[in-house]
Amino acid sequence: MSLSWHAALDAWLDRLLVEKGLSPNTLDAYRRDLQRLESQGEGPLGLSPQDLRRALESAQDEGLSARSRARMISGWRSFFRHLVLEGLLQNSPAEQLEGPKLPQHLPDVLTREEVESLIAAAGASSKLPLRDRALLELAYGSGLRASELVDLPLCELFLEDGLLRVIGKGRKERWVPMGEAAVLSVGPYLDEERPGLAGPDSPPKVFLNYRGGALSRVGWWKILQKLSLSAGLAGVRPHSLRHSFATHLLEGGADLRSVQEMLGHVSISTTQIYTQLDRLYLREVHRSFHPRGREMS
């Protein structure tokens, strides 16, 4: 039985789109990764593990980063598992592939004082202080991804309950507490600043730009960069606030499962990176305050 690469890829990508709701950019990346295998055989059904290893070695010789190669292997495995589930293959040639070892980078986390200085900068130097303060309080208070923050619809905001409903990666729904500070910041923005920004063609989203259009991720990044400079901070990214949200929760005693749910992580192993940060914090507390934590003078 023969199966063309075109037909096989289209069927698999359609399945990912329907079942997982992946973005067009992610699907395009998967397609490019699989197209690397086309030179190894006329179709996907006749490929061996050796063919895949040759393609992987070729990608490495071209200078493809370890992280990109790891993503590529993950896509290959998913594709061939799909063919096995469809009854087109008995075994996947990708299961025994060994991916590159990736260095584990701890996320960048702000201190509580740095978060406070950012929020103060929003009120002191911004042209839209209520909006920018609300952005910061909601990003830090609820741990939202940048796309979740800027795409948040008005109808998913429940100020009286202090909750919001988020549709995250893979179209997964979750409810996230806002926190009192976020509620007290978002409310005045909606009452006082947003009506002046909104026009007849404005989208029904919480956050608008100064023209009344939807605030983009790039727009949010630029706002954060400006506030960071005003606060005397460098390198603050939208995800820094999400990392800080998770780390500060764990430092305060929150359990890992609750943090996982609020972040919208599918696997708790993704959330466990923050326990490393928490351990570093505890070690620093011990070093600073325990009589045996410091070198004796």
Phi, psi dihedral angles at 176 (to 5 degrees) = -130, 130
Residue 67 pLDDT greater than 90, yes or no: no
3-class DSSP assignment, residue 273: helix
Question: Which is nearest to 89 in space by CA: 55, 56, 44?
Answer: 44
What domains appear along the chain, each with residue ranges and CATH number? 5-85 (1.10.150.130), 112-287 (1.10.443.10)
Per-residue pLDDT band at 186 (split at 50, 70, 90): very high
| pLDDT score recorded for residue 1 | 45
Which residues are catalytic, by number?
A: 145, 169, 239, 242, 265, 274
Cross-sheet strand order for the sheet of 163-167: 157-158, 163-167, 173-177
Shortest CA distance to 134 belongs to which of 157, 114, 111, 113? 157
Residue 273 to residue 145: CA distance in whole angstroms? 17
pLDDT at 289 over 60: no
Q: Give the bridge partners for 163, in sequence order.
A: 158, 177
Radius of gyration of the chain (CA): 23
The residues, any chain, with a CB within 8 Å of residue 158's CB and separated by 6 or more, are 164, 165
Q: Give which of 173, 143, 176 is closest to 161, Cα–Cα.
A: 176
pLDDT for 290 beyond 60: no
- This prediction has a pTM of 0.60
Task: Give me the pLDDT at residue 256, please.
Answer: 74
Angle between helices 256-263 and 238-251 (to 10 degrees): 160
**CB under 8 A, 24+ apart: contacts of 276-283:** 276/106, 277/106, 277/107, 277/109, 277/247, 277/250, 278/247, 278/250, 278/251, 280/106, 281/247, 281/251
Of the listed ranges 47-51, 63-67, 84-88, the one predicted with least confidence: 63-67
* Model pLDDT, residue 107: 54
Mean pLDDT of all residues in 63-74:
84
Of 84-98, 149-163, 178-192, minimum mean pLDDT range: 84-98
Token pair listed for 214? 């939807």
User: 199 — phi, psi (to 5°)?
Assistant: -125, -175
* pLDDT band with cut points at 50, 70 and 90 for residue 139: very high
Q: What angle do CA 286, 289, 294 make, to 5 degrees?
A: 75
Give me the pLDDT at residue 259, please: 78
Q: Is the pLDDT reported for residue 133 higher than 60?
A: yes
pLDDT over 80 (residue 174): yes
Task: Give me the phi and psi of 150, to 5 degrees please.
Answer: -75, -25
State the CB neighbour count (10 A cutoff) for residue 276: 13
- The answer to whether 80 and 251 have CB atoms below 8 angstroms apart is no
Which parts of the chain fold into alpha helices (H)?
5-20, 24-35, 49-61, 66-85, 112-125, 129-142, 146-150, 180-188, 194-197, 217-230, 238-251, 256-263, 268-271, 273-289
Cβ-based neighbour number of residue 264 at 10 Å: 21
End-to-end Cα spacing for the chain: 78
Residue type, 96: Q
Q: What percent of the chain has pLDDT over 90?
A: 26
